[in-house]
Amino acid sequence: MVRIGVDATSLHGARTGVGVVTQEILEALGRETGLEVTAFAITWRGRGRLAELLPPGVRAAGRPMAARPLRACWSRADLPPIEWFVGPLDVVHGPNFVVPPARRAARVVTVHDLTPWRFPELTNRDTRAYPGLVARAVRDGAWVHTVSEWVADEVRTEHPDAAARIVTVPNGVTPLPPEGPATGAARGVALAGAARYVVALGTVEPRKDLPGLVRAFDDVVSVDADDPVRLVIAGPDGWGAEALTEAVASARHADRIRRVGWVSDDDRAALLRGATVFAYPSRYEGFGLPPLEAMQAGVPVVTTTAGALPEVVGDAALLVAPGDHDALVAGLQQLLTDDRRRAQLVAAGTARVVAFDWARTADGLVDLYRRAVAGRS
């Protein structure tokens, strides 16, 4: 029996990409035999509510944990250890850049990308602390889990002495809810307010370059104003959402752009199934789950060559350089008008997404945990 502690703080509040990954990891681990999985949340406001968010097979740690004082302590010292809050563990996993110090447990920290290292201007105060926290954990012998080989290479550049402890285990992709009245294409069309629309999904933050997508879409509509196509942007506001608000307000065809904010899983599936094109113009990406979700829904994808995206999407998406306005305009125009190219990408996407399975992710993580425990011993 391997006793595993997992930081599940990201399950609280609106579920972003890290929250989805954490939920899926916990569900998969909860089905594994030979594991005792305990989740904890570093949040004072959410104390006492974690148990209701957890899947079967995962227990909640009972002692409350306050984020600000604990993060301040952990940035300077190895106290208090996680065992004070959770009890004895063999390994503790921080799936969001931060892994608590431990008395005896091996430590695993997930690094999704190196945005705070490479583009600090695209991050906020909390995420700018990640490089120091990761460096401290690595110096103390923590293993690093990366979600793509591209990120692994980036981490090896930053921490060459830890190369043997950097392991890639790709994410899976969550199956869409079964298609029905609340999840089908017709529901998506109703949410979009148009029969033809480009959809973008994800937290609104500078790294996603949604203002650039708005400007590109504005030019697409200017070329063919008779096409009633719309742009739908779904996802909660992160930091820097004002830039998107300003881009929409400045657009010549602002009446064709709809922001719907955070959406439920059913509405997310419906928006994907009803879309004509899925756009993901990220400037920097360590993996990229939304393009795989779109492929699963049978929607052609236009995305960028940023970071790990080419590794993840392969030849199943139309790729443009990040920040290349003209290329994004051309890509959107092609997928809105070229039925043959659309069909090619849909077929390639359907085949591509099969490679990403959460059960396979769990198997890879369990192997990593056992290696970390053996190394600690």
- Residue-wise pLDDT for 249-266, tens only, equals 999 999 999 999 999 999
Q: Find how far residue 267's CA is from the centre of its chain.
A: 18
In a domain, 180, yes or no: no
Using one digit for the tens of pLDDT, what is the confidence trace for 162-186?
999 999 999 999 999 999 999 999 9
Query: What mean pLDDT value characterizes the chain?
Result: 94
Mean pLDDT over 86-91 rounds to 96
As a residue count, the chain comes to: 377
In a domain, 308, yes or no: yes
Beta pairing partners, 204: 237
Q: Is 21 helix (H, G, I), strand (E, B) or coil?
A: helix
Beta strands in the chain (DSSP E): 2-7, 35-40, 58-60, 91-94, 106-111, 143-146, 166-168, 197-201, 230-234, 257-261, 277-280, 301-304, 318-320
Question: Is the pLDDT assigned to residue 63 strictly greater than 90?
Answer: no
In a domain, 178, yes or no: no
| Lowest model confidence (mean pLDDT) among 72-81, 86-95, 139-148, 314-323 | 72-81
In a domain, 179, yes or no: no
Examine the domain organization and report whether 285 and 335 are in the same domain: yes
In a domain, 54, yes or no: yes
- Cα separation, 191 vs 267, in Å, equals 8
Cα angle 350-304-94, degrees, rounded to a multiple of 5 = 80
- Cα separation, 82 vs 340, in Å, equals 55
The whole-model pTM stands at 0.91
In a domain, 177, yes or no: no
Examine the domain organization and report whether 39 and 159 are in the same domain: yes
Examine the domain organization and report whether 152 and 239 are in the same domain: no
Examine the domain organization and report whether 244 and 121 are in the same domain: no
- Nearest CA-CA partner of 76 in 120, 132, 5, 128: 132
Count: domains in the chain: 2
Show Cβ contacts of residue 96 under 8 Å, excluding neighbours closer than 6 positions: 7, 9, 10, 18, 22, 110, 112
Q: Find how far residue 65's CA is from the centre of its chain.
A: 25
CATH code at 87? 3.40.50.2000
Examine the domain organization and report whether 362 and 271 are in the same domain: no
Examine the domain organization and report whether 200 and 134 are in the same domain: no
Q: Is 279 helix (H, G, I), strand (E, B) or coil?
A: strand
Sign of CA dihedral 170, 166, 87, 130: negative
Examine the domain organization and report whether 192 and 166 are in the same domain: no
Examine the domain organization and report whether 221 and 136 are in the same domain: no
Show Cβ contacts of residue 154 under 8 Å, excluding neighbours closer than 6 positions: 113, 114, 117, 118
Examine the domain organization and report whether 30 and 133 are in the same domain: yes
283 residue type, one letter: R
Q: Which domain holds residue 263?
A: 185-355
Examine the domain organization and report whether 70 and 193 are in the same domain: no
Examine the domain organization and report whether 105 and 195 are in the same domain: no
In a domain, 217, yes or no: yes
Using one digit for the tens of pLDDT, what is the confidence trace for 203-225?
898 999 999 999 999 999 998 77
Examine the domain organization and report whether 198 and 320 are in the same domain: yes
Question: Is the pLDDT assigned to residue 377 strictly greater than 70?
Answer: no
